[in-house]
Structure 1
Amino acid sequence: MGSVRAVVLEADAHYACLTHALSNEEEEVMGLCIGDVVETEAGCDVYVTATMSLRRLDKRKDRVEISVEQLSNASTKVEEMSLQHGKRMRIVGWYHSHPKITVWPSHVDTDTQAVYQMMDDTFIGLIFSCFNEDKSSLEQSVHVTCFQSVPASHQSTVRHDSIAIPIVITHGTETRQHNSAALKELPKIIMQEECDMFRKANSCKTDFMTTLHNSSVHVQALSKLNSHFLLPLLKVTARSNLTAKKRLKDVTHENEELRRKVTELQAEMKELLRTAE
């Protein structure tokens, strides 16, 4: 295939990525982008229609990793999605967050991206920069960028440079159900990560005060998850539910009006046929 010309990111997939990015203010989070690649004369367009959040193998502030097992399981799930939607879908990229730092990819990001591109040259990377506060206005901003890796020049001290890929956010409905399900799974993933950290911290023999400290940190993390993530997500879901109900009511009314008009037209046709006879 040719080089990637642009990335089209559906609004629901963008919302799922952004929600995941905003779930952790201190550490990077990550997931996979699902969709398809369309080849044109000017290059390839990558369509991201859904996302898949992943549990982190190692919780760090400056990097995230995907295991071979995670990629294998994700590929199986994407195949099931393809059958469900009746269209070709595959893993087309990955996303991760940059909390409190610039949106531009680091040398670790470009090296990781280069490895993915060795398997698929159209594989793209998305970065969501969040929790960046403007000290003058005290307002926080969120930025997103799409990139690929290219070999660095001989004079460079790093192995790879990044090139920005144009990104367009658009509305879509084909995978809305999957993105909603992904949002519902996200709290479970974060909860599992916190529980794994707690078990790991207490896996070796510790004194009473250390155990008490670990338990306090664990409870604090779960409380933060509830207040900063679950409750806002429930409110958004409730608003979406109200919007959907209103839309359903409008569509039902419109359907009834169309049925009434069809009945009237049928009666007119019968009358015209009777008159013609």
Structure 2
Amino acid sequence: MVVEKHLNKVILASDVYAICFQHALTTEKQEIMGLLIGEIDEEQCISRISGCMILHRSDKQPDRVEISPEQLCGASMYAEKLANTLNRPMRVVGWYHSHPHITVWPSHVDIGTQTTYQMMDPLFVGLIFSVYQSDSRARSNQVQLTCFQASTHEGSKLERREVPLFIETSPFQSYNLDGIANLPKILIQEEVESHSISDNETSDPIARLHNDAFKTLALVHIVSKVSRPMCDDLVQRLNATKLRIKELERIKAQLLMGRN
């Protein structure tokens, strides 16, 4: 049974939003997943998400994701390490995953998963990024984001409860920068492992050659569609930051001249 205590608001740091969004866009064939790190205001029931942990998928599925107890434990250890670094309480406060080519609304499986998490922590939250939804009228791909918890309706039926979500502008924190920099490495590891399983299941050299070719294509896709754009984006962010620093230095110099 879902505990009645629920979130009133979620504040998501913009750099975490960027990481989750970038992760969701890495594939339009399977769902991706990760865990959210942050702080909880227990009195006001407000969740502030300031970090995340991208998870490695051992089994890539087009319509569902599974987070293992080992991954939850690893995320908890990461949160403790982050708490020591930032000198403030941090914990696993939620999860996120993608819905490629389908609606942003959580499925009954998603709501069931969310219910399980809320049994452990009633303020646990779920984020879903819907990507690669085509809009024929606008001739574009739509991206949607929902923030939800599970709740009971009429005493027994489980349903989605929308949670107000606010994205807070913030600079890229170093620990989140490390996370997004590791994204290509995680994707490459997933591809290598999935093709290794295929190779172990066949002794046909032609089949192995076929698998190697597709593995190479997948790795090239990661470099061209993920690593390269991420590098270009980070370079643009760096250049924008340098320009901002110069502008602030100019303003500072003017203020000092005015004081004198």
Question: TM-score over 0.5 for the alignment?
Answer: yes
Give the partner amino acid of 1:178. Answer: Y
Q: Return the TM-score normalized by structure 1.
A: 0.86
Name the structure, 1 or 2, with higher relative contact order (CA <8 Å, separation 6+): 2
Name which one, 1 or 2, has greater alpha-carbon Rg: 1
Aligned residue number for residue 243 of structure 1 = 240
1:166 lines up with 2:164 in the alignment: yes
1:20 lines up with 2:23 in the alignment: yes
Q: Distance in 2 between matches of 1:252 and 1:154?
A: 61
Task: Choose which of 151, 173, 178 in structure 2 pairs with 1:176.
Answer: 173
SS of equivalent residue, structure 2 residue 200: coil
Deviation (angstroms), 1:3: 2.0
Aligned residue number for residue 105 of structure 2 = 104
Aligned residues: CA RMSD = 2.0
Alignment of 1:136-151 (within 5 A): 136-151=137-152
Deviation (angstroms), 1:136: 2.3
Is the contact made by 1:124 and 1:148 (CA closer than 8 Å) also made in structure 2?
yes
How many residue pairs get matched? 257
Q: Distance in 2 between matches of 1:137 and 1:162?
A: 29
Is the contact made by 1:37 and 1:47 (CA closer than 8 Å) also made in structure 2?
yes
Q: Distance in 2 between matches of 1:37 and 1:24?
A: 31
Percent of matched pairs sharing the same residue: 36
Change (3 A) 1:39 1:226: same
Q: Distance in 2 between matches of 1:226 and 1:169?
A: 29
Q: Distance in 2 between matches of 1:190 and 1:244?
A: 29
Superimposed CA distance per residue, residues 38-64 of structure 1 (whole angstroms, 9 cap, x where no aligned partner): 134xx4111111111010121000111
Deviation (angstroms), 1:205: 3.6
Is the contact made by 1:2 and 1:39 (CA closer than 8 Å) also made in structure 2?
no
Aligned residue number for residue 269 of structure 1 = none
Give the partner amino acid of 2:49. Answer: V
Deviation (angstroms), 1:81: 0.7
Is the contact made by 2:104 and 2:145 (CA closer than 8 Å) also made in structure 1?
yes
Give the partner amino acid of 2:146. Answer: T
Is the contact made by 1:57 and 1:65 (CA closer than 8 Å) also made in structure 2?
no
Is the contact made by 1:93 and 1:124 (CA closer than 8 Å) also made in structure 2?
yes
Q: Distance in 2 between matches of 1:26 and 1:204?
A: 23
Q: Return the TM-score normalized by structure 2.
A: 0.92
SS of equivalent residue, structure 2 residue 150: strand
Aligned residue number for residue 212 of structure 1 = 209
Deviation (angstroms), 1:256: 5.3
Aligned residue number for residue 38 of structure 1 = 41
Superimposed CA distance per residue, residues 61-102 of structure 1 (whole angstroms, 9 cap, x where no aligned partner): 011111111111111111111111111111100000000000
Aligned residue number for residue 190 of structure 1 = 187
